Amino acid sequence: MGSTGSIGTQALEIVRANPERLQVEVLTAQNNADLLIKQALEFEPNAVVIADKAKYQYVKDALDKHDIKVFAGADALTQVVQMDTIDIVLAAIVGFAGLKSTIAAIEAGKPVALANKETLVVAGALVTNLAKEKGVNIFPVDSEHSAIFQCLAGEFHNKIEKIILTASGGPFRGKDKKFLSTVTKENALKHPNWTMGAKITIDSATMMNKGLEIIEAGWLFSLKPEQIEVIIHPQSIVHSLVQFEDGSIKAQLGLPDMRLPIQYALFYPQRVPSTFTRFDFTSYPNLSFEKADAETFPALSLAREAMNKGGNLPCVLNAANEVAVGAFLNDEISFLDIADVVEKSMQKASFIAKPSLEDYTKSDEETRKIASVLTTNKVRA
């Protein structure tokens, strides 16, 4: 799901390198029809979905002579994901848009390799309970969570004292608010270590990405907020750490390359050979660690607040953030406005203590309206 994105295309590199082990059943895109067609012609899936219905005929015509089913629309995403022939679903759609297809996959008993962290941020209780009920595994793809998962191999009966999520600090590490008040989207899109989709790259610059990851980790590993620490590690070599009850700390290391966590999730519990560039300690004589600056980057505290209060507040946080990041990418609001829109939306949106899936959908819609008004007011100001 989301095969035309940064995670999706890297996942297809893994398929390309492992033709005897992996076969693509479904590919999906929002509106990048040309890349979807190109991928379909190379990987010959059973079906493709183009979420933007306006592009259906174009994709259909291009794949007309091939034995590949073509579907369109958001509902098709939730249907194809349940196909009998699918063994594992890679959830790599960005944002709230990935929630329903991930839930549909779990409902059909499919294990999920989860990149779409927003799914767990928005509806962590619902998704993890459903996975338990259906006996479905969720394998983390996010590099930090994959690192924790890898550290936990062979340790599943040992209690975690805490986990330490590493963060690169993004392009604005060490900067103050005065500096941040002038940054442009071009500055924010230049991540020092990772090449990723636009939304997560802006989330990394605001530190909201780490905030979302705190919530994601809470659900994946059944941790309380106080068991999840964040530390800045500018080199992005130590991908995260687990501290056990005896004080021992395990870390997972490697060069920043998303193909490794994607591959680990797809092949778990096996490790299969790869040609990814190997890490050389002598090239990195200094691995450094710093305290996170939650005052300059308020997104971290907002995410913690949402996690502590629970209910639909993480859903509100996520929806407001998606709207604000979209507005920033459209040059409508400033960088510092992003966290401001999120904070105000969290104050204005209705609180629901025990939301259902329908409540999450309504809350997402309500928050998007609130956040859109807030961003429009900022444009006017």
Positions that interact with ligand NDP (CB under 6 A): 2-8, 29-32, 51, 92-94, 97, 115-118, 142, 194, 196-197, 199-200, 258
As measured in angstroms, the least distance from the Cβ of 119 to ligand NDP is 8
Whose Cβ is closer to ligand NDP: residue 32's or residue 334's?
32
Whose Cβ is closer to ligand NDP: residue 73's or residue 352's?
73
Whose Cβ is closer to ligand NDP: residue 92's or residue 320's?
92
Q: Are 252 and 231 in contact (CB under 8 A)?
A: no
As measured in angstroms, the least distance from the Cβ of 349 to ligand NDP is 21
Q: Which residues pair with 237 in a beta bridge?
A: none
As measured in angstroms, the least distance from the Cβ of 165 to ligand NDP is 12
Whose Cβ is closer to ligand NDP: residue 147's or residue 292's?
147
Whose Cβ is closer to ligand NDP: residue 51's or residue 215's?
51
As measured in angstroms, the least distance from the Cβ of 201 to ligand NDP is 8
Contacts within 8 Å (CB) and 24+ apart, 354-362: 354/311, 355/123, 355/126, 355/311, 355/312, 355/315, 356/126, 357/103, 357/123, 357/126, 359/312, 360/99, 360/122, 360/123, 360/126, 360/312, 360/315
Whose Cβ is closer to ligand NDP: residue 171's or residue 197's?
197
Whose Cβ is closer to ligand NDP: residue 7's or residue 207's?
7
Closest residue to ligand NDP, judged by C-beta, is 5
As measured in angstroms, the least distance from the Cβ of 8 to ligand NDP is 5
Whose Cβ is closer to ligand NDP: residue 38's or residue 224's?
38
As measured in angstroms, the least distance from the Cβ of 45 to ligand NDP is 14
As measured in angstroms, the least distance from the Cβ of 264 to ligand NDP is 13
As measured in angstroms, the least distance from the Cβ of 20 to ligand NDP is 26
Whose Cβ is closer to ligand NDP: residue 57's or residue 181's?
57
As measured in angstroms, the least distance from the Cβ of 118 to ligand NDP is 5
